[in-house]
Structure 1
Amino acid sequence: MDKILTIIIPTYNMESLLPRCLDSLVKPQCSEFLEVLVINDGSKDNSLSIARKYESEYTGIIKAVDKENGNYGSAVNKGIELATGKYFRILDADDYYDNKGLSILINELENINVDLILTNYRKDRGAQKVYFKSPESSIGHIYDFDNVDIDSYPNFAMHGITYKTSILKNNNIRLQHGISYTDTEYCFYPLSYVKTFVALDILVYCYQLGRPGQTVEISSQIKSVASMVKIIDRMYYYLKDNNIEERLFKKLRSIFCNINGLCFMTILCFDGSEKNMTLLGKLRKQIDDISGAQDIMLGKNLFGVRYYKSYMQKKKKSNGLLYSFYYKLVKKGVALSWAIRDKVFKNISHNIAGK
């Protein structure tokens, strides 16, 4: 039977969480239109054995795929290569799907033919649950993707995206090997080939936060600055070297600015070494070189390079409390003028110095 949806699960040392992930796809019901590829990325624990157990129990639906370790991007690439479903989604092994939502999505996919479908997702941190949904006015309407403003969709992220598989296969979409944060590339490169779009009011992805070692934890971000820079560099040259139509350019530029924002915050708030400050100087030049990017960065309140470079040159050391304050400030999206912000920072610095 032809598969409607392929879900790939990049997996590395997730033996404790993989059963929950797989159970969310097959219990209480399991669709014959579903293909689940568990991409074991060289795990050293029992992840592969668990995947094979589910494969034997759900023959024709779940398949265990073993490969050498190559990090997240290589696992996604293998999934794209092997996928047979008409549509394609990613599910991280430490997360899970809302089973009811998945069933509704599969039913919807049988009756539509678009390049990109956006569904809702939820971020869970303990008892705290935050929902990311498409604007109500856009639900259920098929749009020409040229006319879609992705910045108006809070759920535009890997967790909300379903691509038509042919978009990924026919255009040789490949993520970088050996680095983290390549889910940003998954949101970026296929957009050049998307023509039609629909948003559905279905909760599918349940994104779990708070696990030690997650790439979204600040300790992992600090260690992965080099990965962010590789992603930024590739996007920068893509934007510079291709003659991209303006409406698509704006979408890609937005994603480019988002990953820059993450990199800037990580360095400025938590690892303001002289080496990293020099690196930010390079990234800043790239931002200046992409039309409109600087205005976006300023608008998002993520562009404090001038202030912090001056601060580092004077103090010659990282001020952890000051950076933490800045991180919380920008994460909340508080818009302060530079004059007010500098005054706040100077007061904090003065108070710290006096202790």
Structure 2
Amino acid sequence: MKEKLITFAVPCYNSQDYMQRCLRSLMAGGEEVEIIVIDDGSTDRTGEIADRYAKKYPETVRAVHQKNGGHGAGVNKGLSLAAGEYFKVVDSDDWLDEEDLKKLLTEIRKRKRQGALADLIICNYLYDHLYEGKQKRMGYENVFRDGKVCTWDTIGKFHPSQYLVMHAQICRTEVLRRSGVRLPRHTFYVDNLFANQPLPFVKTILYLDLDLYHYFLGREDQSVNEQVLMKRIDQQILVTKMVSGCADLKQVQKEHPKLADYLVRNLSIMMSISSIHLLLIGTEEAMEKRNELWEYMRRRGNGLYRKLRFGTVSGFTYLPGKAGTALTLAGYRLAKQCYHFN
């Protein structure tokens, strides 16, 4: 059996209609990749499809069946079993570019021979509106130099729309485990926690200018769908609070100021998402939740509230009065039109 360079964890719940597109793209990596398909208590043919792939490709695919615990439980299981040098989560409705996957593996193989593996690899990703025939590319050329290893102290400046989301990250398995990241069960939006908690444990970063990950948009039941997100707003709020406490920002600020600034910016966009969708809900209860969330950040201390309220974009989502609400929602609609994020 070949040494596994990457473990791909594919959490699946009732994914029979689209999971094979995902798995076929990962199979392009051959026997240097490990694919762990986690059937999270599905009630359709998901488990059967996973078993079929595992039987046909025993050197590459492993099927795991567990009681339903949500996306986070699937990620946790995949990480606990991973044998690959690197670990990456691929959602079952997403897929990878097969040629870019081969290029990624070639680079990892070369650097492993040289003893020069980076803790974190960053690649580009695409918002893929497959049914509409539209794509939006999210790259990082302005932040990192292609093919060069850097540290948090030598990175460039992120644009307002740039974040190191889970789709862009391929992290060393040992770094993830050292970070202690563990996702809550039965909770959506936990990818934000998975993408942020390990970052202070990352010492070296390699950027590869590959459009690797296709993030599918278009399903009506998708978690980033506006109406779905509004229904699950309590889970979005919970994860936002968890992300605010997943790193000691004061310590990170001392060691890596650029990383601390990034973490605050990321939390700012999560605060913006929560605030805006509570405004869209518009009920008295929603307004109370919005105020409570901001008060929670105030109680965290260390100047976090002031940074979020007055130093980042989230402050523009907490403007007073009806005029403030109208301005916030107008800005949101414009951003949605420009970036096609749901």
Shared topology, TM-score over 0.5? yes
* Local SS of the residue matching 1:111: helix
Contact conserved, 1:146 with 1:195, CA < 8 A, in 2?
no
Structure 1 38/281 Cα, relative in aligned 2: closer, same or farther at 3 Å? Answer: same
Residues 189-213 of structure 1: CA distance to partner in whole angstroms, max 9, x if unpaired?
0011000001101121111111110
Alignment RMSD, CA only?
2.5
**Structure 1 equivalent of residue 55 of structure 2:** 56
TM value normalised by structure 2: 0.86
SS in 2 for 1:32: helix
Q: Deviations over 1:53-105 (max 9, x none)?
A: 01111111011111111111111111110100001111110111111111111
Residues 8 and 131 (structure 1), Cα distance of their counterparts in 2 relative to 1, 3 Å cut:
same
Q: Who is 2:178 aligned against?
A: 170
Q: Indicate the residue corresponding to 1:160 in structure 2.
A: 168
Out of 313, 325, 332, which is 1:327 matched to?
Answer: 332
Q: Write the distance in 2 (CA, Å) between the matches of 1:229 and 1:167.
A: 27
More off after superposition, 83-92 vs 246-255: 246-255
Q: Name the residue aligned to 1:11.
A: 12
Q: Is 1:131 equivalent to 2:137 in the alignment?
A: yes
After superposition, residues 134-153 of structure 1 pair within 5 angstroms as 134-135=140-141, 138-148=145-155, 151-152=158-159
Report how far residue 147 of structure 1 moved: 3.2
Residues 177, 147 of structure 1: alpha-carbon distance in 2 compared, 3 angstrom cutoff: farther
Q: Give the aligned partner of residue 114 of structure 2.
A: none
Following superposition, the deviation at residue 307 of structure 1 comes to: 2.6
- Unaligned segments of structure 2, at least 5 residues: 112-116
**Counterpart AA for 2:18:** L
CA contact (8 A) 2:40 2:66 kept: yes
Q: Hey, what does 1:303 align to over in structure 2?
A: 317
Determine helix, strand or coil for the equivalent of 1:162: strand
CA distance in 1, matches of 2:7, 2:157: 24
Question: What is the match of residue 281 of structure 1?
Answer: 291
Q: For residues 217 and 37 of structure 1, what CA distance do their matches in structure 2 show?
A: 27
Query: What amino acid sits opposite 1:129 in the alignment?
Result: Q
Does the aligned pair in 1 maintain the 2:149–2:205 contact within 8 Å?
A: yes
Q: 1:171 to 1:327 in 2, by over 3 A?
A: closer
Q: 1:331 to 1:308 in 2, by over 3 A?
A: farther
Cα distance in 1, alignment partners of residues 58 and 247 from structure 2? 44
Which residue does 2:78 correspond to in 1? Answer: 79
CA distance in 2 between partners of 1:65 and 1:192 (Å): 31
Identity %: 26
d(CA) in 2 for partners of 1:188, 1:233: 13
The TM-score, its normalising length taken from structure 1, stands at 0.83
Matches within 5 A, 1:1-355: 1-26=2-27, 29-112=28-111, 113-125=117-129, 126-135=132-141, 138-148=145-155, 151-152=158-159, 154=162, 156-238=164-246, 243-246=251-254, 247=257, 248-268=259-279, 270-288=280-298, 289=301, 290=304, 291-297=306-312, 299=313, 302-308=316-322, 325-331=330-336
Does the Cα contact within 8 Å between 1:120 and 1:155 map onto a contact in 2?
no
Counterpart residue type for residue 254 of structure 1? R
Unpaired stretches in structure 1, ≥5 consecutive residues: 312-318, 335-355
Distance 1:249 1:30 in 2: 35
Structure 2 partner of 1:344: none
The answer to whether the 8 Å contact 1:41/1:69 transfers is yes
**Distance change (3 Å), C-alpha of 1:116 and 1:308:** farther
Secondary structure class of the residue paired with 1:110: helix
Bigger Rg over Cα: 1
* Amino acid in structure 2 at the alignment position of 1:281: N
Give how far 1:141 is off.
1.4
